[in-house]
A = this chain, B = another copy of it.
Amino acid sequence: MKRYGIIMAGGSGTRFWPLSRRKMPKQFLNVTGKDAMVNETIDRLFPVIEKEDIFIVTGKDQAELTDRTVNGRLSKSHILAEPAARNTAACVGYAAMELIRKYGDGIMGIFSSDHYIKDEAGFRAVLERAVEEAEKSDSLVTIGIKPYFPATGYGYIKRKDAESLEVEEFVEKPDQETAEKYLESGNYLWNSGMFVWKASVILKQFEKLLPDIYGYLMEIGESMGTEKERDTIEAVYPKIPKISIDYGIMERAENVLVLEGDFGWNDVGSLDAIEILHETDENGNVICGESVSLDAKNCISFGTDKLIALLGVSNLIVAETKDTVLVCEKSRAQDVKKIVERLEADGKEQYL
């Protein structure tokens, strides 16, 4: 069966500020020093999914930037522009409809555009299994990540037992104590937001579980290939209720399977994750860009055009961009979004 890759690139994460900006979300940044995250996401799917069968769904304001960033990896027709951000259910449904109407049914794998995977071969092995599972059954297959610490920042997927693919339930982000129990039990995996299913199967789920959204998707689907396609999308898409695919379908569907992935996944959710993407020096520092340091320990220094000098400092994140410098205690990386809120409140739009 045909295999498609759907990369969701509509995010505008503020927790990666100042590296990410409204006009330059994280997925377009080169955080690893190799390539833009979205390009790394595309490239790591091959050969499980061929490049010409990959699609990116993004906001229409970012379609241009997406095209420029992927730089010929995908044809323009494979960049699906959402007129408005309507959360992940809309995004997945739109992509499924696009496939069914224009390219024919097939397995579709859904991926975030801004996550990191260290062991790409390991990832592809699990993905291949997921594709095969989705092909042989009409299941909704998800790849859960084997937890290695009691994370409170992720949702979890509970499987029946460690040998089973059968999902018992999706659970919300836990508190510390609960996260520790999850880790100990061995039956819980992190919800990474990677899904694999047939386009026709997920559309059936929309019809069953999200009939209102299904109605809008059908309206869009019927316009596809006609002159009215763009106008219809522009008119209908913004009406789609904002709901996540997790909440709208995964948590409620019955035929959900989970495969365990253990391939060095990270959602690069805040600046401290830079540490995971790079080698540290003998003092525990990660240094990107021109730098000099003396008695600096466990710092992350991410420079663009200036020399960054660190003297006698520890556990800091220093991030320099064309118009900003952030200096942040590493344990406070999550609170970068509060700085963004402050800038917004102060009307300093130019820095957002």
Contact = CB atoms under 8 A, between A and B. Distances in A.
A70 interface: no
A312 B339 contact: no
Contacts of A318: 325, 327
A313 B333 CA distance: 12
A310 B316 CA distance: 11
Interface residues of A, number: 37
B292 A311 contact: no
Nearest to A350: B307
Contact of A292 (B303, B331, B335, B342): B342
Q: Taking the full assembly, how many copies of this chain does it contain?
A: 2
A309 B325 contact: yes
A155 B323 CA distance: 43
A295 interface: yes
Nearest to A301: B327
A338 B307 contact: no
Contact of A339 (B292, B305, B346): B292
Contact of A325 (B320, B338, B339, B346): B320
Contacts of A348: 292, 307
B292 A312 contact: no
Contacts of A312: 328-329, 331-332, 335
A339 to B, nearest CB: 5
A334 to B, nearest CB: 10
A162 interface: no
A1 interface: no
A326 B311 contact: yes
A282 to B, nearest CB: 16
Contacts of A310: 327-328
Contacts of A316: 313, 316, 327
A46 interface: no
B309 A327 contact: yes
9 contacts: A294-B338, A295-B332, A308-B324, A309-B324, A309-B339, A311-B329, A312-B328, A313-B328, A327-B327
